[in-house]
Amino acid sequence: MSRAVDDDLWSAVGDPTRRRLLDLLLADGGGTATTLSDRLPVTRQAVAKHLGVLDRVGLVHSAPSGRERRYEIDGRQLARAVSQLSSVSAAWDARLDRIKTIAETIQRSRKN
């Protein structure tokens, strides 16, 4: 791979609630912990903690909005994450192709 994989980034995205938050933020263009928690089966406090994790790895950024903070996706960091995922995917495709070739070679040699 040409780029190092950011373990903290992928650890943050590994949680299903955080992935759902990213989906909601992408679809809505942003939101607060309160508006997002209304659409998830978790408390506002849990959403705020998940948003904090996403903020620490740079996938979202926030700004004050009344008594709360409004969160939005950081497009550059999301693009970096997509690029990393594409790189990892390509590496695994190559590995799986090599495994397939080896398995086919073994299978052919057993037939002969």
The model's pLDDT over 30-72, given as tens digits with 9 standing for 90+, comes to 999 999 999 999 999 999 999 999 999 999 999 999 999 999 9
Look up the CATH number of the domain holding residue 25. 1.10.10.10
Percent of the chain with pLDDT over 90: 78
Domains in the chain: how many in total? 1
| β-bridge mates for residue 69, sequence order | 64
In a domain, 1, yes or no: no
| Secondary structure E strands in 1-112 | 31-32, 60-65, 68-73
Model pTM above 0.85: no
In a domain, 78, yes or no: yes
Residue that has been written with the tokens 């679809």 in this structure:
27
Name the residue range of residue 41's domain.
7-111
